[in-house]
Amino acid sequence: MIPKAVLGLALVYIAYANRRPIMSLEDEIMDIYNEVRLKGLQEKFDKQIAKMRTQDKHMHKTANERWDYALRRIKGWDPNKSEKKL
Protein backbone atom coordinates (compact mmCIF):
# COMPACT_ATOMS: atom_id res chain seq x y z
CA MET A 1 0.00 0.00 0.00
CA ILE A 2 1.29 3.46 -0.89
CA PRO A 3 1.43 5.95 1.99
CA LYS A 4 -0.93 8.89 1.61
CA ALA A 5 1.96 11.38 1.72
CA VAL A 6 3.63 9.75 -1.28
CA LEU A 7 0.35 9.65 -3.19
CA GLY A 8 -0.27 13.31 -2.40
CA LEU A 9 3.18 14.27 -3.68
CA ALA A 10 2.58 12.27 -6.84
CA LEU A 11 -0.67 14.16 -7.52
CA VAL A 12 1.03 17.50 -6.92
CA TYR A 13 3.80 16.55 -9.34
CA ILE A 14 1.29 15.44 -11.99
CA ALA A 15 -0.60 18.72 -11.67
CA TYR A 16 2.67 20.66 -11.89
CA ALA A 17 3.89 18.66 -14.90
CA ASN A 18 0.60 19.23 -16.72
CA ARG A 19 0.44 22.88 -15.60
CA ARG A 20 -3.09 22.35 -14.37
CA PRO A 21 -4.54 23.48 -11.08
CA ILE A 22 -4.77 20.77 -8.45
CA MET A 23 -8.28 19.39 -8.47
CA SER A 24 -9.64 16.15 -7.15
CA LEU A 25 -10.34 13.45 -9.69
CA GLU A 26 -14.04 13.51 -8.84
CA ASP A 27 -14.24 17.28 -9.35
CA GLU A 28 -12.70 17.00 -12.79
CA ILE A 29 -15.15 14.25 -13.81
CA MET A 30 -18.08 16.33 -12.51
CA ASP A 31 -16.89 19.41 -14.41
CA ILE A 32 -16.71 17.42 -17.65
CA TYR A 33 -20.09 15.79 -16.98
CA ASN A 34 -21.75 19.14 -16.28
CA GLU A 35 -20.26 20.75 -19.39
CA VAL A 36 -21.42 17.87 -21.60
CA ARG A 37 -24.91 17.92 -20.09
CA LEU A 38 -25.38 21.70 -20.17
CA LYS A 39 -24.15 22.08 -23.76
CA GLY A 40 -26.23 19.15 -25.02
CA LEU A 41 -23.23 17.13 -26.16
CA GLN A 42 -24.16 13.85 -24.48
CA GLU A 43 -24.79 11.89 -27.69
CA LYS A 44 -21.52 13.00 -29.32
CA PHE A 45 -19.63 12.40 -26.08
CA ASP A 46 -21.00 8.87 -25.72
CA LYS A 47 -20.10 8.07 -29.35
CA GLN A 48 -16.55 9.35 -28.83
CA ILE A 49 -16.11 7.32 -25.63
CA ALA A 50 -17.42 4.19 -27.40
CA LYS A 51 -15.01 4.78 -30.28
CA MET A 52 -12.10 5.22 -27.88
CA ARG A 53 -12.88 1.87 -26.19
CA THR A 54 -11.88 0.07 -29.41
CA GLN A 55 -8.60 1.97 -29.86
CA ASP A 56 -5.43 0.58 -28.29
CA LYS A 57 -3.88 3.99 -27.62
CA HIS A 58 -6.57 4.73 -25.02
CA MET A 59 -6.29 1.36 -23.22
CA HIS A 60 -4.07 2.54 -20.36
CA LYS A 61 -5.56 6.00 -19.81
CA THR A 62 -7.43 6.80 -16.65
CA ALA A 63 -11.14 7.61 -16.78
CA ASN A 64 -10.32 11.29 -16.30
CA GLU A 65 -7.86 11.28 -19.20
CA ARG A 66 -10.37 9.52 -21.46
CA TRP A 67 -13.19 11.90 -20.56
CA ASP A 68 -10.97 14.95 -21.01
CA TYR A 69 -9.75 13.68 -24.39
CA ALA A 70 -13.30 12.86 -25.55
CA LEU A 71 -14.60 16.29 -24.56
CA ARG A 72 -11.78 18.07 -26.40
CA ARG A 73 -12.36 15.90 -29.50
CA ILE A 74 -16.08 16.69 -29.72
CA LYS A 75 -15.30 20.39 -29.23
CA GLY A 76 -13.15 20.33 -32.37
CA TRP A 77 -9.61 19.65 -31.16
CA ASP A 78 -7.52 17.54 -33.54
CA PRO A 79 -4.47 15.96 -31.89
CA ASN A 80 -2.76 15.56 -35.27
CA LYS A 81 -2.97 19.24 -36.22
CA SER A 82 -2.75 21.15 -32.98
CA GLU A 83 -0.43 21.10 -30.00
CA LYS A 84 -2.66 23.41 -27.99
CA LYS A 85 -5.43 22.01 -25.81
CA LEU A 86 -8.86 23.61 -26.01
Question: Residue 81 has what pLDDT?
Answer: 81
Quick check: 70 pLDDT over 70? yes
Provide the terminal-to-terminal Cα distance of the chain, rounded to the nearest Å.
36
8 A C-beta contact, residue 72 and residue 44 = no
34: which residues sit within 8 A by CB, 6+ positions away?
none
8 A C-beta contact, residue 46 and residue 54 = no
Could you tell me the residue ranges of all domains in the chain?
24-86
Integer Cα distance of 79 and 73 in angstroms = 8
Q: Using one digit for the tens of pLDDT, what is the confidence trace for 23-53?
A: 688 889 999 999 999 999 999 999 999 999 9
